[in-house]
């Protein structure tokens, strides 16, 4: 391959740069590709934590990162889902667990039968038929060899961001990736491509492909390529509170009058993110509001601006921007790591054949734009569906425009409990169902094929499923047992 | 009857009776009343003999017995379509119902094939595909059921007599409570603000009222196009064939478990072997050949004696702008038409039925989200097929006026760029819904002479010798497996022999 990409430079710091360098090196070093990481030294923000969706577990296998190392190095705990509290006004809460929303039967998704039963007066919530949700709430996790429900239970992680970045960096070092300091580096663009980066020590680094996890490289090539995306909150306070005991298997996202608060359970602390709209809550009042919402003292930093920029064309010339350089991920539902991982996987898949032309950029930009749109929709649904009626922040959030795709998803679920799926979906249907039902959307009608099941048979099946959920939960292990097992 | 939701299906061709049968199988008769109106006087199109593997899913969904169904419809098996003269004169390739190869390493099989092909060490792509190797020897078996066996890595469809299929489904559906109403519709009554259809009136004076109407009236599109005025989105600038001549011939020795499509000066000719006869037709652009010359060409290219005079059919490529408007859903020819080059019409009927069942309104006032979704998914289905058909047309030698024109057309946005991407690195987008995954695109691209210049770099990780050895082993395994398969004719004679008609 005379025109193959031989030299790759990754520019940036923190999780995104390390993960990209590691993934690219593991895939292509075998072909003689040389990977240099120009470390800008930018570290995760103090107190920051990451919500890793279940997909990351698979990705970790490709990266060669094992569970024991994660637990030891990043205060990791098991993530079975997120609980949303007070999004509908009262104290109510629901759990978006990573699992099946009930078990399909009579060849139809469970939601169809559930809708029918709700119309006939059933009071049981959809999540009560979800093994992952029931287990998480009762502090149980793990997979079963023999399961009565036969339901999927998927697990992600909660990670301390700084610890995770250190862990990835160590893995880069073990993979013999050369890491150089990017302090004082000067970027040299030339005719739509990047020529080289001059390091302060005098070394001139040229590469066939630059991966930008910082934003400086892509900004040099495409200064007008970033656009502001509308966001609901403009301020964020990060902090830490004492760890929960026992450790919960899910995080919590609590709505408050001027924004939301996320609690991420880690092994040694509970990471807090308090987001708000500074027009409704002054910075001076914010820490008081935070303490009041959480009900105890929090070791918190000062407010920082919460940005929401988007970069529709992350690959320009020979620079691929990913992680924060590609735009600010939606702030909930583990969007940050999900998008990072999908971007890296897509880059490996579309690894350029010809370093001089790289027409892969167009394919990549199309794929990533689609993925961003769908991931963004998933988080946008919470704001669209909130039922905190009469509160200015939440009324505006409900009225804010959403993509046509999300609008049709919500319309169709509300009408029929079905899913309008599009290309690039990153969340499974059952996740959408648990969230929409959790926010109080009960479909107005159901698939008439459900009527072929007789009322009595339906009730018997519901009871069977609830019993199966209970017995499966009973057979699962506790969070502490699971962590101990994985620690080895 | 009072409270029942009243469904009226207009038309008793393949589309109408497929829909009626699905309603009989899946709608609760205490809540739905389903009637089908058809006119013997008008008759059906009656062509439509090659299908896709999804038809087996549909039959299974109804609970039909495969053997009984095949006997009733004079059916044979289909493992794919052979394309002759597509690309350039003398070329031939098969678009199979299966994938190429099986996993060799981290990259997908096709990438390894590209690499070896570029190096001159690969056999033709088709040698790595069990259904193709088997089909070209006129052999057939059902998938073996063992996932480690190459003889399991395929799907199959049927060739069938569409007229007999409709008749078979009719008796099946009538036995399950579907009411058939004979008569010619002469007027349609509308009411309501949306112009909902209230009833159809027959020549006899009978009035058939309903809450929801399914228009299966064929090319006329009596309700959807006629009464509701939903226009056809015209795609004939991309797919210019507008006519066909169809003729049955005596069954020949060459009892292929595949459909054959042969490119000709002004279009292409199909050949579909059934148990009792062979179906043939010439699909052409009337601007490029006269009806008489088309008929003569067809008759000169049969491999058995013609059993009738060629019959002319006229059509236009396109789809109704909405499949569901007001309280009426159009399916089959009433909803749109794409030439049978990839045997997709009956599949489109099936998809419309499946979506309609799931989106069936429960009361006369229709929740607008339901038609919105049906229209959206049917648009996706049509667009995918349209682009894939156009691909067959554009990748050809410009060896006659029709082929000069089609190879120079402006492509739809959804297709533009795909060819260049494939040439660059064998890239095919894998989309979420709709027909034709990457193996189909690979088959047609490579079959019609569009070859990738390079492969996914991950395919370079394995040493060349290892790749070559694995390719050779796979081709040998497939060749050996194919040799153990019975002939298509024998298999049919044993499995589902149909009585002489
Ligand atoms: C040349 C050609 C080749 C084809 N090949 C294939 C193929 O290989 N594979 C494939 O899947 N598909 C193929 N098709 C498509 C296939 O034939 C049709 O999709 C299928 O037969 C469905 O037809 P239909 O039921 O929609 O319409 P029709 O068969 O036309 O049925 C229309 C029905 O409506 C009734 N009707 C109409 N007007 C009135 C009225 N005023 N009053 C009462 N009743 C009325 C008629 O009596 C009839 O019952 C082909 C089509 C053509 C034209």
Alpha-carbon span B257 to B272, nearest angstrom: 9
Mean pLDDT of the region B114-134: 97
**B319 an active-site residue?**
no
Q: Tell me, what's the pLDDT at A116?
A: 97
In this structure, are residues A376 and A409 in contact, taking their beta carbons and an 8 Å threshold?
Answer: no
* Average model confidence (pLDDT) across chain B: 96
Is the CB of residue B216 below 6 angstroms from any atom belonging to ligand 1? yes
- Is residue B224 predicted with pLDDT exceeding 70? yes
User: Is the CB of residue B186 less than 8 Å away from at least one CB of chain A?
Assistant: no
Which chain A residue has its CA at the smallest distance from B27's CA? Answer: A449
ipTM: 0.95
Q: What is the CA B303 to chain-centroid distance, rounded? A: 24
Six-digit token string for A467: 């019993």
- Is residue B389 predicted with pLDDT exceeding 90? yes
Six-digit token string for A484: 């101990």
Q: Do B457 and A362 touch (CB under 8 A)?
A: no
Q: Do A447 and B358 touch (CB under 8 A)?
A: yes
Q: Do A349 and B456 touch (CB under 8 A)?
A: yes
Suggest the residue from B373, B375, B463 to mutate for an interface test with chain A (most A CBs closer than 10 A).
Answer: B373
Element (H, E) at B180: strand B179-182
What pairs with residue A105 in β-bridges?
Answer: A108
Closest Cβ opposite residue A425 in set B370, B425, B432: B432
Q: Do B369 and A412 touch (CB under 8 A)?
A: yes
Q: Which among A52, A29, A21, A6 is positioned nearest to A212, based on CA atoms?
A: A21
User: Is the CB of residue B431 less than 8 Å away from at least one CB of chain A?
Assistant: yes
Judged by CB atoms within 8 Å, which residues 340-379 of B form the interface with A? 357-362, 367-370, 372-373, 376
- B40 C-alpha vs ligand 1 centroid, how far in Å? 13
Six-digit token string for A49: 């934590």
The distance of A375 to chain B (nearest Cα, Å) reads 16
- Which atom of ligand 1 lies at the shortest distance from residue B14's CA? 25
Q: Do B457 and A351 touch (CB under 8 A)?
A: yes
Q: Do A1 and B460 touch (CB under 8 A)?
A: yes
| A–B interface: beta-carbon pairs under 8 A | 89
Q: Tell me, what's the pLDDT at B1?
A: 40
- Is residue B181 predicted with pLDDT exceeding 50? yes
Is the CB of residue B134 below 6 angstroms from any atom belonging to ligand 1? no
Closest Cβ opposite residue B367 in set A351, A444, A452: A444
Alpha-carbon span A251 to A263, nearest angstrom: 6
DSSP 8-state symbol, A197? E
In this structure, are residues A355 and A208 in contact, taking their beta carbons and an 8 Å threshold?
Answer: yes
Model confidence at B221, in pLDDT bands (50, 70, 90)? very high
Alpha-carbon span A460 to B193, nearest angstrom: 44
Please tell me the pTM assigned to this model. 0.96
Q: How many CB atoms lie within 10 A of CB B167?
A: 16
Alpha-carbon span A157 to A71, nearest angstrom: 9
Of B4, B26, B56, B78, which residue is the catalytic one?
A: B78
Q: Tell me, what's the pLDDT at B2?
A: 56
Closest Cβ opposite residue A31 in set B31, B359, B461: B461
Closest Cβ opposite residue A448 in set B28, B376, B421: B28
Q: What are the boundaries of each domain within chain B?
A: 5-76+160-234+318-384, 98-154+417-488, 243-314
- B383 C-alpha vs ligand 1 centroid, how far in Å? 21
Q: Tell me, what's the pLDDT at B47?
A: 84
Q: Between vectors from CA B97 to CA B91 and to CA B102, what angle results, nearest 5°?
A: 95
**B140-147 long-range Cβ contacts below 8 angstroms, 24+ apart:** B140/B77, B140/B79, B140/B257, B140/B485, B140/B486, B140/B487, B140/B488, B140/B491, B140/B492, B141/B485, B141/B486, B141/B491
Question: What are the two backbone dihedrals, phi and then psi, of residue B412, each rounded to the nearest 5 degrees?
Answer: -60, 150
Q: pLDDT (tens digit, 9 = 90+) per residue, A164-192?
A: 999 999 999 999 999 999 999 999 999 89
- Is residue B170 predicted with pLDDT exceeding 60? yes
In this structure, are residues A221 and A358 in contact, taking their beta carbons and an 8 Å threshold?
Answer: no
Q: Which among A342, A419, A382 is positioned nearest to A55, based on CA atoms?
A: A342
Helix ranges restricted to H, A269-358:
283-294, 335-349
Q: Tell me, what's the pLDDT at B416?
A: 84
- B172 C-alpha vs ligand 1 centroid, how far in Å? 19
Q: pLDDT (tens digit, 9 = 90+) per residue, B240-270?
A: 999 999 999 999 999 999 999 999 999 999 9
Among A441-450, B169-178, B425-434, B481-490, the least confident range: B425-434
Q: Tell me, what's the pLDDT at A1?
A: 53
Alpha-carbon span B293 to B299, nearest angstrom: 10
Q: What is the pLDDT along chain A (488 residues), one digit of tens a residue?
A: 579 999 999 999 999 999 999 999 999 999 999 999 999 999 999 999 999 999 998 899 999 999 999 999 999 999 999 999 999 988 899 999 999 999 999 999 999 999 999 999 999 999 999 999 999 999 999 989 899 999 999 999 999 999 999 999 999 999 999 999 999 999 999 989 999 999 999 999 999 999 999 999 999 999 999 998 888 999 999 999 999 999 999 999 999 999 999 999 999 999 999 999 999 999 999 999 999 888 888 999 999 999 889 999 999 999 999 999 999 999 999 999 999 999 999 999 999 999 999 999 999 999 999 999 999 999 999 999 999 999 999 999 999 999 999 999 999 999 999 999 999 999 999 999 999 999 999 999 999 999 999 999 999 999 999 999 999 999 999 999 999 999 98
Q: Which among A165, A203, A166 is positioned nearest to A181, based on CA atoms?
A: A203
Is the CB of residue B182 below 6 angstroms from any atom belonging to ligand 1? no
Mean pLDDT of the region B445-459: 96
Alpha-carbon span B219 to B10, nearest angstrom: 13
Superfamily designation of domain A7-78+159-229+308-372: FAD/NAD(P)-binding domain (3.50.50.60)
Q: Do A448 and B432 touch (CB under 8 A)?
A: no
Q: Do B26 and A452 touch (CB under 8 A)?
A: yes
B433 CB neighbours in chain A (<8 A) are 421
Which chain A residue has its CA at the smallest distance from B358's CA? Answer: A447
What pairs with residue B320 in β-bridges?
Answer: B232
- What sign results for the dihedral spanned by CA atoms B455, B460, B465, B466? negative
- State the architecture of B5-76+160-234+318-384 in CATH terms: 3-Layer(bba) Sandwich (3.50)
- Is residue B98 predicted with pLDDT exceeding 90? yes
Q: Tell me, what's the pLDDT at A413?
A: 98
Q: Which residue has the higher pLDDT, B2 or B162?
A: B162
Alpha-carbon span A317 to A219, nearest angstrom: 12
| b (16+ CB within 10 A) / e for B422-456 | bbbbbbbeeeeebbbebbbbbbbbbbbebebebbb
Q: Tell me, what's the pLDDT at A363?
A: 97
With a pLDDT cut of 70, the percent of chain B lying above it is 100
- B45 C-alpha vs ligand 1 centroid, how far in Å? 4
In this structure, are residues B5 and B357 in contact, taking their beta carbons and an 8 Å threshold?
Answer: no
A353 CB neighbours in chain B (<8 A) are 424-425, 453-454, 457
- B314 C-alpha vs ligand 1 centroid, how far in Å? 12
What pairs with residue B232 in β-bridges?
Answer: B320
Closest Cβ opposite residue A448 in set B362, B425, B429: B362
Closest Cα to atom 38 of ligand 1 = B217
Direct distance between the N- and C-terminal alpha carbons of chain B, in angstroms, rounded to an integer:
40
Is the CB of residue B223 below 6 angstroms from any atom belonging to ligand 1? no
Please list, in sequence order, all residues whose beta carbon lies within 8 angstroms of the beta carbon of residue B120, skipping any fewer than 6 positions away: none
- B372 C-alpha vs ligand 1 centroid, how far in Å? 25
């Amino acid at each position: 391959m005379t025109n193959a990409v031989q030299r790759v430079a990754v520019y940036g710091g923190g999780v995104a740069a390390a993960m990209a360098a590691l993934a690219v090196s593991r895939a292509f070093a075998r072909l003689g590709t040389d990977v240099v990481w120009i470390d800008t030294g930018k570290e995760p923000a103090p107190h920051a934590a990451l919500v890793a969706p279940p997909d990351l577990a698979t990705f970790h296998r490709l990266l060669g990162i094992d569970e024991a190392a994660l637990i030891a190095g990043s205060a990791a705990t098991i993530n079975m889902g997120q609980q949303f509290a007070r999004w509908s006004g009262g104290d109510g809460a629901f759990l978006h667990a990573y699992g099946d929303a009930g078990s399909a039967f009579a060849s139809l998704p469970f939601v169809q039968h559930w809708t029918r039963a709700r119309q006939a007066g059933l009071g049981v919530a959809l999540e009560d038929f979800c093994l992952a949700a029931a287990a998480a709430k009762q502090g149980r996790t793990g997979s079963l060899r023999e399961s009565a429900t036969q339901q999927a239970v998927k697990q992600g992680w909660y990670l301390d961001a700084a610890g995770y970045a250190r862990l990835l960096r160590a893995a880069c070092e073990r993979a013999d990736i050369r890491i150089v300091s990017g302090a004082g580096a000067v970027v040299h663009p030339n005719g739509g491509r990047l020529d080289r980066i001059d390091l302060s020590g005098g070394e001139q680094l040229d590469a066939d492909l630059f991966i930008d996890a910082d934003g400086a490289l892509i900004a040099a090539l495409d200064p007008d390529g970033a656009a502001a995306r509308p966001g609901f909150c403009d301020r964020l306070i990060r902090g830490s509170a004492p760890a929960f005991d026992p450790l919960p298997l899910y995080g919590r996202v609590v709505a408050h009058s001027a924004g939301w608060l996320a609690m991420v359970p880690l092994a040694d602390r509970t990471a807090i993110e308090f987001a708000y709209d500074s027009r409704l809550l002054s910075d001076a009042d914010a820490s008081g509001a935070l303490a009041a919402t959480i009900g105890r003292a929090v070791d918190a930093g000062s407010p920082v601006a919460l940005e929401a920029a988007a970069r529709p064309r992350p690959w320009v010339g020979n620079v691929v921007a990913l992680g924060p350089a590609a735009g600010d991920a939606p702030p909930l539902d583990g969007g940050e790591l999900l998008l990072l991982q999908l971007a890296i996987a897509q880059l490996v898949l579309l690894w350029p054949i010809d370093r001089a032309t790289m027409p892969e950029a167009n394919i990549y930009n199309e794929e990533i734009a689609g993925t961003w749109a769908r991931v963004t929709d998933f988080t946008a649904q919470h704001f669209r569906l909130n039922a905190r009626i009469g509160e200015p922040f939440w009324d505006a959030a409900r009225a804010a425009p959403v993509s046509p795709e999300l609008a049709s998803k919500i319309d169709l679920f509300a009408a029929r409990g079905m899913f309008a799926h599009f290309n690039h979906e990153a969340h499974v249907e059952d996740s959408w169902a648990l969230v929409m039902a959790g926010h109080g959307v009960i479909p107005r009608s159901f698939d008439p094929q459900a009527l072929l099941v007789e009322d009595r048979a339906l009730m018997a099946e519901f009871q069977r499923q609830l019993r199966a959920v209970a017995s499966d939960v009973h057979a699962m292990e506790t969070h502490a047992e699971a962590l101990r097992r994985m620690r080895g | 009857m009072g409270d029942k939701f009243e469904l009226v299906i207009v038309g008793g061709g393949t589309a109408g009776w497929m829909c009626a049968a699905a309603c009989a199988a899946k709608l609760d008769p205490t809540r739905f009343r389903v009637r089908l109106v058809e006119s013997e006087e008008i008759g059906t199109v009656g062509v439509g003999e090659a299908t896709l593997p999804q038809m087996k899913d549909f039959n299974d969904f109804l609970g039909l017995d495969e053997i009984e169904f095949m006997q009733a419809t004079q059916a044979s098996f289909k493992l794919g379509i052979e394309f002759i003269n597509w690309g350039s004169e003398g070329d031939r390739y098969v678009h199979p119902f299966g994938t190429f190869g099986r996993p060799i390493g981290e990259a997908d099989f096709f990438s390894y094939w590209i690499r070896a092909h570029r190096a001159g060490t690969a056999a033709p792509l088709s040698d790595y595909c069990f259904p193709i190797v088997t089909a070209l020897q006129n052999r057939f078996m059902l998938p073996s059921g063992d996932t480690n066996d190459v003889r399991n890595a395929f799907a199959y469809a049927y060739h069938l007599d569409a007229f007999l299929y409709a008749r078979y489904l009719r008796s099946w559906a009538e036995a399950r409570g579907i009411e058939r109403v004979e008569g010619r519709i002469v007027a349609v009554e509308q009411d309501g603000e949306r112009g909902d259809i209230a009833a159809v009136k027959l020549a006899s004076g009978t009035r058939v009222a309903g809450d929801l109407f399914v228009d299966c009236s064929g090319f006329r599109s009596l309700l959807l196009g006629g009464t509701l005025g939903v226009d056809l989105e015209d795609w004939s600038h991309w797919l210019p064939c507008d006519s066909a001549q169809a003729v049955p011939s005596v069954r020949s020795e060459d009892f292929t478990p595949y459909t054959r499509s042969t490119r000709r000066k002004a279009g292409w000719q199909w050949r579909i072997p059934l148990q009792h006869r062979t179906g043939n037709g010439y699909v052409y652009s009337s601007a490029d050949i006269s009806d008489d010359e088309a008929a003569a060409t067809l008759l000169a290219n049969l491999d058995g004696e013609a059993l009738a005079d060629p019959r002319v059919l006229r059509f236009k490529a396109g789809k109704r702008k909405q499949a569901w408007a007001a309280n009426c859903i159009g399916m089959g020819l009433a909803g749109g038409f794409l030439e049978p080059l990839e045997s997709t019409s009956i599949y489109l009927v099936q998809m419309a039925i499946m979506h309609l069942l799931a989106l069936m309104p429960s009361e006369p006032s229709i929740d607008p989200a339901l038609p919105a979704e049906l229209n959206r998914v049917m648009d996706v289905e049509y667009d995918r097929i349209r682009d894939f058909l156009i691909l067959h047309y554009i990748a050809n030698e410009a060896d006659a006026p029709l082929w000069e024109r089609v190879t120079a057309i402006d492509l739809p946005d959804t297709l533009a760029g795909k060819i260049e991407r494939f040439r660059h690195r064998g890239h095919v987008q894998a989309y979420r819904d709709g027909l034709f995954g990457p193996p189909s695109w690979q088959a047609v691209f490579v079959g019609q002479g569009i070859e990738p210049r390079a492969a996914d770099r991950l395919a370079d990780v394995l040493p060349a010798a290892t790749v070559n050895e694995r390719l050779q082993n796979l081709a040998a395994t497939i060749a050996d497996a194919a040799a153990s398969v019975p002939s298509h004719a024998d298999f049919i004679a044993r499995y589902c022999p149909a009585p002489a008609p």
